[in-house]
Amino acid sequence: MTLPAWIALGLLLAVLMVAGLGAFRLRALSHRVGSFECGARPAGGDGSWTLGIAHYGVGRIDWWRSWSLSLRPARTWSRHDLLITGREPLTTVESRPDTYLVRCRYQGQDFELSMSRGAYEGLASWLEAAPPGRRDVVV
């Protein structure tokens, strides 16, 4: 084989390896107990949705971007500082039926999440079941 063929083969193997690692990461995140699909964007609908997977931790929710190779979550929201300020059915052409737009506030910053009805009910229950001393009520 010629040098350009070796280079092309090497690039192809590198692309396949990165795609395989990404698929393995996504499968590992989505099959953890306490994980749910969750899109995120800044408040007001100004930005586009970033697809991700959220996972309940001890006193926090970790959120990973779906299309990333990072081993760390892109965002972490503490249970104590996370507030749900509103929710409504998400009725866009791209959205699945039974999907909610959930408005949240974390440390003074507003953002929006999109999730299934079951995921929203789990999130609301998790926040309402916070330890004593938390006076916030989910809307």
- Average predicted confidence (pLDDT) for the chain: 86
Does 118 reside within a domain? yes
pLDDT at 102: 94
Residue 17 burial (CB count, 10 A): 10
Does 9 reside within a domain? no
Does 60 reside within a domain? yes
Residue 10 predicted with pLDDT over 60: yes
Residue 80 predicted with pLDDT over 70: yes
Residue 138 predicted with pLDDT over 70: no
Q: Count of domains in the chain? A: 1
Structure confidence at residue 71 as a pLDDT band (50, 70, 90): confident
Residue 109 burial (CB count, 10 A): 9
Domain membership of residue 40 as a residue range: 32-128
pLDDT at 103: 95
Mean local confidence (pLDDT), 97-104: 90
Query: Which stretches of 11-59 are assigned E, i.e. beta strand?
Result: 35-37, 39-42, 52-57
Does 48 reside within a domain? yes
Mean local confidence (pLDDT), 95-116: 90
The CATH number of the domain holding residue 36 is 2.30.29.30
Does 22 reside within a domain? no
Q: What percent of the chain has pLDDT over 70?
A: 91
Does 124 reside within a domain? yes
Does 13 reside within a domain? no
Does 42 reside within a domain? yes
Q: Which helix (H) or strand (E) holds 9?
A: helix 3-30
Q: Is 12 or 45 the better-scoring residue by pLDDT? A: 12
Residue 60 predicted with pLDDT over 60: yes
Burial of 52 (0-12, 13-18, 19+ CB in 10 A): buried
